[in-house]
């Protein structure tokens, strides 16, 4: 099987970081670099809201409670992939420490989508951006999704539905049956601050903010900063 096509959510509000100002949008750039560091043949594309609006693919109003610009547009991944093959979506606050194609070992065509089935409830009342923390079933399941784009249920993720259906229908996977939601090991979506921080996972997910925020002081900060420095050095060397 070929490489998985990767789509990463891009949030333009993170274009500038006071502490990490050598590149535009450090979270996205570091996440993309960490993927291609382990496999240079993987194709990575941003899900860029401004471009989707320009093409009139996305016209939802702004959700002021959401912490990212791609809270709904992530579900356009199968459409952007032509409803063919395999496509992976991940949030931009991931740091990959392995070849992302290892996920292919878990692929089963009977599933419409595969994800890490987290089961946790954040105790914080606010998110890292100061917005109210929301609690709902299947929280963070949609932060990493491997879509079987030709599956009949995935066709329900039409442009029209993504622009009109509510968050519950999208993020709780009500567009497919429970039997069609496959499971990926948690090491591919390791929630910083929630899971055992002594573990060295395959992908770190900085759900409580991240090192690109000046005041952030969570776990695995050194790994993200090291990857950022590698990326800056590579860019400076041309």
> Using one digit for the tens of pLDDT, what is the confidence trace for 81-114?
999 999 999 999 999 999 999 999 999 999 999 9
Q: What's the pLDDT tens digit per position in 26-45?
A: 999 999 999 999 999 999 99
Instruction: Please check whether residue 188 is in contact with residue 103, taking contact to mean a CB–CB distance below 8 angstroms.
Output: yes
Q: Which of 51-65, 145-159, 201-215 has the highest mean pLDDT?
A: 145-159
How far is the C-alpha of 133 from the C-alpha of 155, rounded, in Å? 31
**pLDDT given at position 131:** 47
Whether residue 121 is predicted with pLDDT greater than 70 in this model: the reply is: no
Instruction: Please check whether residue 203 is in contact with residue 97, taking contact to mean a CB–CB distance below 8 angstroms.
Output: yes
How far is the C-alpha of 167 from the C-alpha of 188, rounded, in Å? 24
**Which pairs with CB-CB distance under 8 Å and at least 24 residues apart come from 51-60?**
52/76, 57/159, 58/159, 58/162, 58/163, 59/163, 60/162, 60/163
pTM of the model: 0.92
Question: In terms of Cα–Cα distance, which of 232, 230, 143, 229 is closest to 192?
Answer: 143
Q: Which of 23-37, 54-68, 69-83, 163-177 has the lowest mean pLDDT?
A: 54-68
**Structural domains of the chain, with CATH:** 5-236 (3.90.550.10)
Please compute the mean of the pLDDT values over residues 167-184 and round it to a whole number. 97
């Amino acid at each position: 099987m070929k490489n998985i096509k990767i789509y990463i959510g891009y949030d333009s509000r993170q274009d500038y970081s006071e502490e990490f100002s050598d590149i535009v949008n450090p979270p996205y750039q570091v996440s993309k670099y960490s993927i291609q560091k382990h496999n240079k043949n993987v194709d990575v594309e941003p899900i860029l809201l401004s471009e989707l609006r320009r093409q009139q693919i996305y016209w939802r109003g702004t959700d002021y409670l959401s912490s990212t610009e791609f809270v709904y547009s992530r579900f356009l991944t199968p459409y952007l992939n032509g409803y063919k093959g395999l496509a992976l979506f991940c949030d931009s606050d991931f740091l990959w420490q392995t070849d992302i194609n290892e996920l292919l070992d878990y692929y089963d065509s009977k599933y419409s989508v595969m994800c890490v089935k987290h089961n946790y409830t954040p105790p914080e009342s606010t998110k890292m951006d100061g917005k109210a923390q929301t609690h709902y079933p299947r929280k963070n399941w949609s932060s990493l999704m491997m879509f079987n784009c030709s599956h009949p249920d995935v066709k329900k993720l039409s442009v029209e539905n993504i622009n009109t259906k509510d968050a519950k229908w999208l993020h709780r996977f009500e567009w497919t049956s429970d039997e069609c939601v496959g499971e990926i090991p948690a090491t591919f979506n390791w929630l910083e601050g929630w899971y055992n921080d002594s573990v060295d996972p395959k992908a770190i997910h900085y759900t409580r903010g991240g090192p690109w925020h000046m005041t952030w002081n969570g776990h695995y900060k050194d790994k993200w900063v090291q990857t950022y420095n590698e990326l800056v050095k590579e860019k400076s060397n041309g």
